[in-house]
Structure 1
Amino acid sequence: MDPLRATARIIVRYRIAFALVAVFLLVLSLYGIQNLRFESGLRGMLPENHPAIDDYTALQNEFQGGDSTLIMVKVSSIEPGGVYDVRDPGVIGAIYDLEQRLRKRAYVTDTASIADVYIQVLGRLPNNEEEARFVLDMLPQEERYRLVSRDYTTTIIAVTINREENTKTLVRIHDDIEKDIESVNFPQNVEVIQTGNVGISYRILELLQSDLNSTMAIALILVLALLLYFYRSPVKAAIPLIPLLFGVTMTLGFMGIMGIPLDLATTTVGAMMIGMGIDYGIHVTNRYYEERRRGRSVEESAEEAVAETGKALLGAALTTIAGFAAMYLSSIPMLHHLATALILGLSLSALNAVVITPAVIILEEDVMKRLRGHHVLPEVRSSSGLVAKVFHGLGEAIRRKPSVFLTAVLLITILFGYGVTRVTTEVRLEKMVPEGVPEIEALIDITNNFGGQSELYVLLKADDVRNPAIVRGIYRFENEIKADSDYNGVIDSESIADVVRDKYGYIPNDREEISEAIKNTGLVSGDYSMTLIKFKGDFGGSMDDFRRIMRYFEEETTRAEDTEFPPGVELSPTGDTYLNYVLDGITSVEINRVSTYGTLFVVLIVLLLFRRPKVSVAMITPMFLGALWTLGFMGLAGIPFTQSLAGVISMIVGLGVDYGMHLTHRFLEEVKEGNPRPIVTSVESVGPGILAGALTTAGGFLALLAGELPTIHDFGKTLAFGIFASMFAAYLVTPALLQIFYGRNTGGDGE
């Protein structure tokens, strides 16, 4: 006996025992869900063994920096009784009070604000607005407008933070700073908003949590609505839905048990599993109903559904898993987490579909028999009415004129081929938060009013950074960078060379004098082997401008090592801004690597499973077309590749091959049984199931549009389009190629 058929018989016979085991795993999963954690930091998106991570680690460990938050203080209204200018002594006093509270926090290493200027100049805070205006007017215009906006309605507090890179610390710091802000009595009309790295990372974390719940709920509603349409009954719609709910709950539970975090990529898993997992249950359920209409008994129909559909499901699951497994070859940890979560989820969903579905479907039949006194032959919308007529007509048309359909596919491919040339990438965290969010609006205000507040660090390593030749080299390097400010966006810099010159008016040749000047500055490591050069400026704009500026710093640090410093000195850009650039380069490489290997893995599994070149070509061609059309869609729709989308083509390849596989498997089954028109039967019998599966899968992906994060929107749109592209390619290409390859031999009259 066929091993799969023997397995199907065991599953059906001992269905209650298998169902009880599934219930036990479900209970265990509910425990695991409580341990799920969210992660929104940039550090978790980069490989641990990358040189940029080593420099970033040194930045945090040696200089107690590398992270910051900006607090925007803004006059946001002109209501009577309030203030209209940040130079108001009440505003300045509140800023000073907030700074003092922040400095008491153990993780705050420094703060800077307009209040510090008054303390330095007056030795106290201003007593009236005239005094406040006078002090600011004394400052050079360039320095003044780094502290306040030109209309004097906005100022900022820059807070330097040393924190552990984990979610709990991020939440604690953000909440502590919010409490400090709320505890200060700012005058009426003044709005205070926390932004910068901490503020944006916290907002992303908050949106991840809300998006997980909202996208899963919307996906479930969409899938349920489609099931009700196709099965015409809430009870019958629940049959493929119950194994799905088991699979999704188990997936999230095991993620919690295994310590897989929910990040910008894995937050989509809930909605994705609802969309993808339902496909397995639909195919088993549809085949069961088909066998019942043929007159088979309840148990015989269940065995046949599990045995025959199981073959296609096994192949589909293996190819999908192969596509997802390619993400393990990436060096981006986020993609590893996504691959693990998806493979786990798909495996559990497929297993639940073949184990739970027979138990549920036979239980439903038994209950209905007791209520009505006899079995009722099921009738679903996908096998009758308009849907059935459309697929029968499609099968007949392809049987007669397969080349016409292939020509249409070629024209569509040319159109999307143009879109491929327009695909871009975007990896900056601030670009992944939706417009209108207070933290982003505040950051935009700061950029517009103060010429940019992004920070880029250059880490200098040497035997002893107090060497006068090194300090002079730093001074020359800084000034050369600032001389190119129109090109690189730099508006200010800070280094030990500045500190030394401020103290002595020149750079002395005595190391002890230099050592005396730079102690307690926070710009040198404890053993004087490293120092920081800080650059502040507007490094944003388009992704092309961002890359250009980062390449400029890479080139300048390399040049300066050879021309400005004595031998043995190493310079390297670092900090969050530079890590974004590193991630951009890694993402571009990973897109090609993951997509290529994912495709190769899927093709290899198809060849191993079917071992027929023509059959394999008919099966995998829609997969290639679906991936190509999806790339073109991204280019035409302006959807950039992000770190979470780096594996999307591999995912579509793994998912897209399923449709061609189901059609091909049914075609081979019909040929084996001597059907003279196997193409027509394959399209009209499997086509509706593919449509239902694709609609529910795409519905799960489109539910991601209910999330607030733009990157999750893009993820949903791209995957949904990829599913529809793969489905249409399978409908048009697989039957046409099979008809061309085998039509004459099966009694057909194809071209």
Structure 2
Amino acid sequence: MSGPVDYQRFVDAADDQIVNHPRRVVGAFLVLTLVFGAGLGAVSTDAGTAGFTQDVPAQVAFEEVQNEFETSAFATDTGSTQLIQRGENVLSKKGLVRMLEVQNRVEDHDELRVTSTASAATIVATTLDPEARTTEQQIRAVERATPREIDRAVQTAADRNPRFVGLLSNDFNRGSAAAGATIGVVTHEVPAGLSASAGQGGTSPLTPLQLRTDYVVDSVGGDIIVFGSGIISAEFSNVIFDSLIIVVPAAVLFILLFLIISYRDLADLMLGMVALAMALIWTFGFMGLAGIPFNQILITIPPLLLAVGIDFGIHAVNRYREERVTGLDIGPAMRVTTDQLLVAFFIVTGTTVIGFSANLTSALPPIRDFGIVAAVGIVFTFLIFGVFLPAAKVLLDRSRQKYPIPTFSTTPLGAEGSRLGRALSGGVFIAKRTPAVFLVVALVASGGMAYHATGVDTTFSNEDFLPPEENPDYLMALPEPFKPSEYSVTALTNFLSEKFESSQSDTVTVYVEGPLQQDQALEVLYRAGDDPPDALVQQNGRADATSVVSVIDDYAARDEEFRELVARNDRNGNGVPDDDLPAVYDALLAEDSPVRGQALRYITEDRRSTRLVYSVKADATQGEITEDARSVAADMERPRTSLVAIATGSTVVFEAISGLILDSAVTSLIIALTGTAVFLLFVYWVLEGKPSMGVANLIPIVVTVSFVAGSMRVFGISFNAFTATILAITIGLGIDYSVHVTHRFADEYRERELYEALDRTVRGTGGALAGSMLTTVFGIGVLVLSVFPAIGQFGILTGLSVIYAFVSSLLVLPSALVVWARLFGGGGGLASDEPSTGPTPEDVSATGGDVSAGEAG
């Protein structure tokens, strides 16, 4: 293979601008900051699970069901708000009147667009007085009744109206006519298509209506709570804001602390903070200009950018200081720094972008958005810390020569002879003695962790996006504006699940398309419910289902003419017509048919689509429900009927997304590893003429990814909407550490013997890596403060990935480089065989560093 490519002219061009025209460079970057800053106001929020359900096949079927059976193209849709009432006895006169008063107050507000209200109190009132049509009349009926009359009305309603019991909590006692909780329902008129998504969140037309309803209910006073999808959507957005306002300042505080330790100079510290702020402004401004909405996963972007930016900043300043302490002037020292670090930063940026961009292969839009924003943000960070920061540093230090700007420290971290430098040399000690054995042990241990990781679970549910039922005390102790809101969604969701479980049954839908007028079509649908799988509720050995067959049964039971029509076309006498179905449908869907509206909820006007809604067991898992629903759907797909059946519904959609999350994690990992390997082979061929060095560079990343994946199972953390990106992110962040070590080693190895080059690499670069690691771990670790538990898990995993990457780069990589040198690298002092393409410190010193004085000052 040919020798290294001459890339130095590109680096020299950047050097010239940074060293000789720093004012021009700084000015251009500040102008760009203003441009991107203009996009900050355009950043929108897209919270919740709705964004994840887009384009999923089960979701497409779910939308078709909603559009064909729930709404029409030009009609209005309805959305509901729940009124949750809790008390000692919600069926007492006081409790009933309280609910009816709230219903009456809500109905009086036209802006709420209420079409109807219903509750257990409504049923009791109409049982007391069947002529009580309005809510005001129902209030009077209850107020006039004696407690005994109310008790009898409650018992009568429970006996005659199954829906009445369904509105009451599990502790309902018929004998004492008492219950501890009940649910009322307010129906609003909203634009068509409201329920077209299986997920929650995003922007909902119900949000303003339900927030206003909550205000109206509060004005009445009492113990009734407003709940619904609009409230959930609003809380999703609040949680994002609350998480950011806690996480970002906490990250800045930790980062500030470690930057003080790393820089030990006020002016350098301020310069680093300005560069970090610019990276965030550019990235979020880009989101606004590109129209990318902010979702929960993107909460991780600020800590990630801060982590990489900190690393770049510490390396740049530390490397510059290493040259300055040797006696080089500002210009020459910065030339040596940028000659090395621009190349290292480019390698880090390329591999990090590959790692993050691997998420673009995901089928889930929010994860793809994360990949785009993270990749673009890393490129911005490279430009700011690779070009702007060095230019600003040149301006700063030249200004120090003219003005009394205080200087506190110019000593680099991990200098030779320092305690930190000695502590970081453990990997070199091992590499000098048993590098091959240690490398084999590290790879075997990594293989064991990777095998252990095959048992990691995959989940996706609304609960992943909900805040905890109660915020931790340490968060509630924070002062305003950092103190998070008190959230009700999780507590109310758990309350409803606990108190109303027996009266609420989950369902799954099978959507069927095909020639439904063919003989046997309904028979096929009906027989699919015979001997149902375990997850479906059974009645008399059949699945408990509601479908067009149910409507036919109901209509036949009360209309003799229709009953005779069904009987004439029922060959086997099971009540399901299997002949002359067009005539059956014509009678069922006739304009004057009393069940036309009900039938159209289960079969379309063109008789080409239908749905069957199956009740599922409360204790069945998401996976079991989906598998069994798909099994029933498969039974309907008979060649002779040409029917196509798809299992759908929220449970099936979420299970499908769980599978996509795992696919996304595995696919992005494979692409990130493959892309990174190819990139490193190419880069080290270009830079050093030795592509095999890229393999050595990749070994610590393989170790890191294996240990991160294995740790997920150790700590009981599943792949979910947030952690699905962690493996690709581990590559993106972890490669940073190994690239800096490998690239510095390549520079040192040109002029020095193997172990001396390795020792100088670890002592010099290792100090900057240690500062970067501590800052990054604590900076990203603040994600555990997020009110999203899933984001906290992401923070833990990302912090672990950085620690593993740091340790493997300083402990495993030296042995890998020694083995590489013995196999491919030749003898030490490579400069004698292959001259460096870049200038040495002596070359720069001889030229004086400054080519022109145009803007040097």
TM-score (norm 2): 0.77
Unaligned 5+ segments in structure 1 are none
2:65 matched to 1:59? Answer: yes
Q: Displacement of 1:111 after TM fit?
A: 6.7
Identity of aligned residues (%): 19
- CA distance in structure 1 between the partners assigned to 2:46 and 2:242 by the alignment: 13
- Correspondence for 1:726: 805
- CA distance in structure 2 between the partners assigned to 1:85 and 1:271 by the alignment: 54
Q: Displacement of 1:735 after TM fit?
A: 0.7
**What amino acid sits opposite 1:517 in the alignment?**
P
- Correspondence for 1:552: 628
Q: Choose the corresponding residue for 2:827, options 739, 745, 749.
A: 745
- Correspondence for 1:520: 597
- CA distance in structure 1 between the partners assigned to 2:234 and 2:464 by the alignment: 14
- Correspondence for 1:174: 207
- CA distance in structure 1 between the partners assigned to 2:552 and 2:102 by the alignment: 30
2:238 matched to 1:206? Answer: yes
- CA distance in structure 2 between the partners assigned to 1:11 and 1:259 by the alignment: 33
Q: Choose the corresponding residue for 1:74, options 81, 85, 88.
A: 85
- CA distance in structure 1 between the partners assigned to 2:23 and 2:545 by the alignment: 71
**What amino acid sits opposite 1:551 in the alignment?**
E
2:392 matched to 1:360? Answer: yes
Cα pair distance change 1:537/1:573, threshold 3 Å: same
Q: Displacement of 1:293 after TM fit?
A: 0.7
Q: Where does 1:203-602 land on structure 2 (aligned, <5 Å)? A: 203-372=235-404, 378-383=410-415, 385-392=418-425, 394-402=427-435, 405-406=438-439, 409=442, 413=446, 416-417=449-450, 419-436=452-469, 437-451=487-501, 452=504, 454-463=506-515, 485=536, 494-505=546-557, 508=563, 509=566, 510-515=584-589, 516-521=593-598, 523=601, 524-525=603-604, 527-535=606-614, 545-562=621-638, 567-602=641-676
User: Contact between 1:645 and 1:715, CA under 8 Å: does it hold in 2?
Assistant: yes
- Correspondence for 1:15: 22
- Correspondence for 2:167: 147
Q: Displacement of 1:480 after TM fit?
A: 6.5
Cα pair distance change 1:183/1:159, threshold 3 Å: closer
- CA distance in structure 2 between the partners assigned to 1:252 and 1:613 by the alignment: 36
- Correspondence for 1:680: 759
- CA distance in structure 1 between the partners assigned to 2:717 and 2:664 by the alignment: 17
Q: Displacement of 1:182 after TM fit?
A: 3.3
- Correspondence for 1:35: 42
- CA distance in structure 1 between the partners assigned to 2:445 and 2:327 by the alignment: 43
**What amino acid sits opposite 1:399 in the alignment?**
K
What SS is found at the alignment partner of 1:170? coil
Deviations along 1:625-644, one digit per CA (max 9) or x if unpaired, are 11110001111111111133
The farther-off stretch of 342-351 and 87-96 is 87-96
The farther-off stretch of 406-415 and 146-155 is 406-415
**What amino acid sits opposite 1:716 in the alignment?**
G
**What amino acid sits opposite 1:448 in the alignment?**
E
- Correspondence for 2:852: none
- CA distance in structure 1 between the partners assigned to 2:445 and 2:647 by the alignment: 45
Cα pair distance change 1:601/1:45, threshold 3 Å: same
Alpha-carbon RMSD across the aligned residues, in angstroms, is: 3.6
The farther-off stretch of 205-214 and 399-408 is 399-408
Cα pair distance change 1:693/1:556, threshold 3 Å: same
The farther-off stretch of 60-69 and 357-366 is 60-69
Deviations along 1:39-71, one digit per CA (max 9) or x if unpaired, are 1253422453x4323322323323346996662
What SS is found at the alignment partner of 1:571? strand
- Correspondence for 2:135: none
Deviations along 1:435-457, one digit per CA (max 9) or x if unpaired, are 31421221222222222454433
The farther-off stretch of 607-616 and 184-193 is 184-193
User: Contact between 2:529 and 2:632, CA under 8 Å: does it hold in 1?
Assistant: no
What SS is found at the alignment partner of 1:317? helix
Cα pair distance change 1:372/1:430, threshold 3 Å: closer
Cα pair distance change 1:571/1:72, threshold 3 Å: farther
- Correspondence for 1:669: 747
**What amino acid sits opposite 2:819 in the alignment?**
I
What SS is found at the alignment partner of 1:71? strand
2:8 matched to 1:6? Answer: no
The farther-off stretch of 581-590 and 128-137 is 128-137
Cα pair distance change 1:187/1:309, threshold 3 Å: closer
Q: Displacement of 1:551 after TM fit?
A: 1.0
What SS is found at the alignment partner of 2:827? helix
Q: Displacement of 1:11 after TM fit?
A: 2.5
Q: Displacement of 1:376 after TM fit?
A: 7.9
Cα pair distance change 1:67/1:42, threshold 3 Å: farther
User: Contact between 2:217 and 2:224, CA under 8 Å: does it hold in 1?
Assistant: no
Cα pair distance change 1:438/1:504, threshold 3 Å: same
Q: Displacement of 1:367 after TM fit?
A: 3.7
Q: Displacement of 1:163 after TM fit?
A: 4.7
Q: Which has the higher helix share?
A: 1
Deviations along 1:192-233, one digit per CA (max 9) or x if unpaired, are 1414x4443432222123223322222222111110112223
Q: Displacement of 1:276 after TM fit?
A: 2.0
Q: Displacement of 1:142 after TM fit?
A: 6.9
The farther-off stretch of 724-733 and 137-146 is 137-146
Deviations along 1:485-519, one digit per CA (max 9) or x if unpaired, are 5589x997544444444444167434344221333
- CA distance in structure 2 between the partners assigned to 1:52 and 1:213 by the alignment: 36
- CA distance in structure 2 between the partners assigned to 1:475 and 1:88 by the alignment: 44
User: Contact between 1:329 and 1:594, CA under 8 Å: does it hold in 2?
Assistant: yes
- CA distance in structure 1 between the partners assigned to 2:35 and 2:807 by the alignment: 40
Bigger Rg, structure 1 or 2: 2
Unaligned 5+ segments in structure 2 are 1-7, 72-76, 133-137, 172-178, 470-486, 567-583, 831-857
Cα pair distance change 1:259/1:613, threshold 3 Å: same
Q: Displacement of 1:680 after TM fit?
A: 0.6
User: Contact between 1:219 and 1:275, CA under 8 Å: does it hold in 2?
Assistant: no
- CA distance in structure 1 between the partners assigned to 2:122 and 2:607 by the alignment: 29
Deviations along 1:595-634, one digit per CA (max 9) or x if unpaired, are 1111100000001111335422221001011111000111
**What amino acid sits opposite 2:633 in the alignment?**
T
Deviations along 1:302-327, one digit per CA (max 9) or x if unpaired, are 12211111111111111111112222
- CA distance in structure 1 between the partners assigned to 2:406 and 2:95 by the alignment: 85
Cα pair distance change 1:547/1:393, threshold 3 Å: closer
Question: Across the two proteins, how many residue pairs are aligned to each other?
Answer: 734
Cα pair distance change 1:397/1:101, threshold 3 Å: farther
Cα pair distance change 1:112/1:556, threshold 3 Å: farther
- Correspondence for 1:93: 100
- CA distance in structure 2 between the partners assigned to 1:87 and 1:14 by the alignment: 80
**What amino acid sits opposite 2:656 in the alignment?**
V
User: Contact between 1:62 and 1:526, CA under 8 Å: does it hold in 2?
Assistant: no
User: Contact between 1:149 and 1:449, CA under 8 Å: does it hold in 2?
Assistant: yes
**What amino acid sits opposite 1:721 in the alignment?**
L
Cα pair distance change 1:311/1:187, threshold 3 Å: closer
User: Contact between 1:419 and 1:632, CA under 8 Å: does it hold in 2?
Assistant: yes
Q: Displacement of 1:535 after TM fit?
A: 4.3
What SS is found at the alignment partner of 2:166? coil
Cα pair distance change 1:266/1:305, threshold 3 Å: same
What SS is found at the alignment partner of 1:573? strand
What SS is found at the alignment partner of 2:225? strand
TM-score (norm 1): 0.88
